[in-house]
Chains A and B, each alone.
Chain A
Amino acid sequence: MTFLGMPTAPRGVGQLRQEAPFPVAAARALDDSQLRRNLGHATSTIRAKRAAAVAEVPDWQELRAAGAAIKDEVLAHLDRYLLQLEEQVTARGGTVHWAGDANEANRIVTGLIRATGQRHVVKVKSMATQEIGLNEALAAAGIEATETDLAELIVQLGHDRPSHILVPAIHRNRNQIRDIFLREMPDAPAQLSDEPAALTAAARAHLRRKFLTAQVAISGANFAIAETGTLAVVESEGNGRMCLTLPRTLITVMGIEKILPAWRDLEVFLQLLPRSSTAERMNPYTSMWAGAVEGQDFHLVLLDNGRTATLADPRGRAALRCIRCSACLNVCPVYERTGGHAYGSVYPGPIGAVLSPQLTGVADNPDLPFASTLCGACFDVCPVAIDIPSMLVHLRSRVVDDKLAHHRGPTPEAAAMRGLAWTMSDPHRWTWALRAGRAGRLLGRRYDRIRHLPGPLAAWTSSRDLPRPPRQTFRDWWKAERSQ
């Protein structure tokens, strides 16, 4: 199935695409023992904490069902809710901008900053602005953007890429972070220790002046209430409050799926999100504002960038329910070992494996739907009940269909499957093929299993052994038994 007329996220901008095939990138990550240690520690810690935070809530499954249904309602009538949000934000003094893709969003934000005459902005951690590569676009326009979330700052100063939705520097340990600070932070104390408290204090001192003098801030949004025009940002460190409150101009870039219909719906999501993401009863700070408040200029940029293409697939659209809690990353046996960078996109892990290929079109992220064991742990923990395993299977078929549509003649896979179908559809052919398979015994002579298949079949044995075929096929054995 293709979705004509639905543009996906454009190439050449932002961070949604694999640079290397997943197996290659994953193998590279697995070679890094430091990374595996950091990830193993972090994911197991947060898994246990989340389980405890969720177990405390007797009506968790009911909240989850409501969360899923509210998001489905939003997606079904997204046009209506967006117009309502626009009306409410505008009525309260804000300005709403519509961005069809990453390039347009970057253009809009750059233009808004230029209009203020500022060359420096502070940023709250935001997946949407990473997705569209806003910092790079601003740098190209001569505007310096400072990430203010501690982990994002570590990533930015380390000239690195985030590897987790919630804790983007999860791949770094304290020693590595101290080294980055000493190298990149001119005001870091020379005797800086690697204690997390000392590193945090250094970041506080480094960012404080920027906060108090910044004139423009850029944020994302966790929720936007169509009914009232209220936006919400959920955070822990207070950098969000600093950015949302102190600068004169606030620009919020938000994916169009972040909407909730009514104010009341927050009663569901403010329970689901903190416990799923940081495993807390409530995160330290949540800021909410409707339109331009306390004398600020407020701009809201509504971002599509492949979301309508995702919405067009009835079996894939539920990925847009995602509230970016990252619980699915922490339980995923694949993510736990490879980390986020192997996925190429800012959305790693199970949700990334279903979201990134839909935002870009499956042709641009063809490996990601296969980067899973389909164990289903992600579905169990998802606070909005996204059936990620079924969606992965569906996207696998889309990848195959897409390859067929763009391949001249049948693909090797398709040819093999067609040959198999021909063989299996006739009992004589099948019996003959099974007997012929015994020739494979020769290949397994040495180790009593086949380690390398010849020719195009070698791909199958590149990462697994094949059992050595038995001397006698089952059919021959059956015949021999019966004749006795």
Chain B
Amino acid sequence: MSSREEMLARIHAATADITGLPDVPRRYQPAGRGPGSADEALVSLFEERASDYQATVRRCAEAEVAQVIADAVAARGAGRIGVPRGFPALWSALLPGPVFDDPPLDVAALDALDGVVTTCAVAIAETGTIVLDTGPGQGSRAFTLVPDYHLAVVRTGQIVAAVPDAVAALNPVRPLTWISGPSATSDIELSRVEGVHGPRTLDIVIVAD
């Protein structure tokens, strides 16, 4: 008998006594409880919670995005900025040194960048999280990992209230990266250090829809 068959047989025998399990009680707050999309309270909460993680959050109108991005990048002293496929050309128009990820940059090329700009798939107000799913404007998983600086643009309409809303909105077979602030560790005496292996700096720009 193969290990597969053996393990399955053992499980079958081990669970033979279990009958009539009750249904999972889902009395917690389900998806869809929060206010509607682009609700101001939701946007403010996201802004506050993302800032709690030492991400720098800016808000602006659609027409100002290019300038806000250029200013944020300049404030970080970052020159060579990776721009993924599908990132709105208007938004990257004022970047001094855009490097287009088309064809996709290899790891060495990514390592030579100062930072990247991306969009995101969804953002969670309660936890200050953004989620990337490698869709248009987001680049590969490595694209937002290797460079030391990441600026993500979030549309107010992409902000959901809580974790259940994000789970409902995401596609489980796409590669997903949930990001809550810059990389961090508390491994030395539990004192928090921001910036380990992932981007050490995270900026978020919230664009009003």
Contact = CB atoms under 8 A, between A and B. Distances in A.
* Chain A complexes with chain B: yes
B127 interface: yes
Interface in A196-238: 196-197, 199-200, 203-204, 207-208, 211-212, 225, 227-230, 236-238
Interface stretch (B58-66, B85-93, B182-190): B182-190
Given A45-B190, A242-B145, A204 B197 contact: yes
A271 interface: yes
Contacts of A384: none
Interface stretch (B4-12, B34-42, B67-75, B76-84): B4-12
Q: How large is the interface on A (under 10, 10 to 19, 20 to 34, 35 or more residues)?
A: 35 or more
Contacts of B126: 281
A77 to B, nearest CB: 7
A449 interface: no
A196 B134 CA distance: 33
B159 interface: no
Nearest to B144: A241
B179 A271 contact: no
Contact of A246 (B107, B163, B190): B107
Given A174-B189, A237-B183, A100 B198 contact: no
Given A212-B108, A238-B197, A271-B163, A100 B3 contact: yes
B13 A77 contact: no
Nearest to A312: B14
B145 A65 contact: no
Contacts, number: 240
A167 B141 contact: no
Given A212-B107, A284-B198, A59 B8 contact: no
B145 A238 contact: yes
Which of B52, B124, B178 has the most chain A CB atoms closer than 10 A to its own CB? B178
Contacts of A32: none
B181 A284 contact: yes
Contact of A282 (B172, B178, B187): B178
A239 to B, nearest CB: 5
Contacts of B134: 294
A421 to B, nearest CB: 32
Interface residues of B, number: 72
Interface string A75-98: 111110011000000001000001
A316 to B, nearest CB: 11
28 contacts: A5-B10, A42-B190, A65-B25, A69-B24, A70-B24, A79-B8, A79-B11, A150-B185, A170-B190, A196-B189, A212-B108, A236-B183, A239-B197, A245-B145, A263-B172, A281-B49, A282-B124, A284-B181, A286-B177, A287-B176, A288-B175, A288-B176, A294-B134, A294-B140, A304-B3, A304-B7, A308-B11, A311-B14
A294 B140 CA distance: 8
Contacts of B124: 282
Contact of A285 (B13, B21, B163, B177): B177
A197 B127 CA distance: 25
Given A98-B3, A283-B180, A77 B196 contact: no
B141 A59 contact: no
Contact of A66 (B25, B108, B172, B197): B25
Given A98-B3, A287-B141, A203 B196 contact: yes
Contacts of B173: 92, 228-230, 290-291
Interface in A279-308: 280-291, 293-294, 302, 304, 308
Contacts of A151: 187
Given A245-B141, A285-B179, A287-B141, 16 more contacts: A41-B190, A66-B24, A73-B21, A98-B2, A212-B107, A229-B173, A238-B197, A242-B198, A245-B142, A267-B31, A267-B164, A281-B49, A284-B183, A287-B176, A289-B176, A312-B10
Majority SS at the chain A contact face: helix
A143 interface: no
Interface of A: 3, 5-6, 38, 41-42, 45-46, 58-59, 62-63, 65-66, 69-70, 72-73, 75-79, 82-83, 92, 98-100, 104, 148-151, 154, 167, 169-170, 173-174, 177, 196-197, 199-200, 203-204, 207-208, 211-212, 225, 227-230, 236-239, 241-242, 244-246, 256, 263-264, 266-268, 270-271, 278, 280-291, 293-294, 302, 304, 308-309, 311-312, 314, 317
Given A98-B3, A212-B111, A293-B175, A284 B167 contact: no
Interface string B124-165: 101111000010000011100110000000000000000110
